[in-house]
Amino acid sequence: MGDMHFSQGDGEVSFCGAIEMSGFLELKCEIIRGGMEQYLTPMGPTKLHVHPIFEIGPLEPRYSDWLVFEGISVDETGRQHYLDASVAYKRAVLNAIDYLAKFGYTKQQVYLLLSCCPCEGRISGIVDVPNAVATLAIPVAIFDQDVRPKPGGPPVGPRLLRRGDVAKATYEGSKPLTINACMCGGGH
């Protein structure tokens, strides 16, 4: 078992962006005598060179509306990488970052978001040789604004203003704001 994450996007694209958590794990398993020979095909020199299969538990929350970004195995210089799903997935992630940055988020914010939000990455096609195709689906409900394409371009959303070395976000959207009350007793 590895470390526990509260939330992690498929691929954990920033390599350290999942939200870590402490917790306890209850693991139940059933031994199937001879199961490796019955269900798994060795992929190496011995019968122990098998890749595991497993059943996952129910995942919550479930989302119904997704925005899907596609990438193909052509890098940013235009060079084709024959059926390279890693390049295709990287392109899907970069397409998502560029798109979501149009809604007022910094590219760094989107990059970290994709590591910890419940996004789903897939190898979506290898039939179109020489291209591999990967997709990255992001649930639209996780955003504080509607990020789906609309006529007229992206709506006005949060914008990052820099004043000296302090970043402050302003919001011009229609969703209600919650302002935290000061806990210091000073009334500010």
pLDDT, tens digit, for every residue of 49-107?
877 777 766 766 788 899 999 999 999 899 999 999 999 999 999 999 999 998 888 89
What was the pLDDT predicted at 185? 45
DSSP string, 114-161: HHHS--EEEEEE-SSTT--EEEEEEEGGGSSS--S--TTSSPP--EEE
Residue pair 111/14 in contact (Cβ under 8 Å)? The answer is: yes
For residue 2, give the 3-state DSSP assignment.
Answer: coil
Structure tokens at 150: 């609309």
pLDDT tier at 128 (50, 70, 90 boundaries)? Answer: confident
On the question of pLDDT at 8 being above 50, the answer is: yes
Task: Report the relative pairing of strands 159-163 and 166-170 from DSSP bridges.
Answer: antiparallel
What pLDDT score does 42 carry? 81
Please give the Cα distance from 139 to 62 (Å, whole number).
9
pLDDT band, very low/low/confident/very high, at 186 (cuts 50, 70, 90): very low
Given a contact cutoff of 8 angstroms between Cβ atoms, the answer to whether 178 and 172 are in contact is: no
Q: Which residue has the tokens 């925005």?
A: 67
* pLDDT beyond 50 at 135: yes
Nearest residue to 36 via CA among 46, 24, 27: 46
The answer to whether the pTM exceeds 0.85 is no
Closest CA to 158 of 105, 120, 122, 100: 105
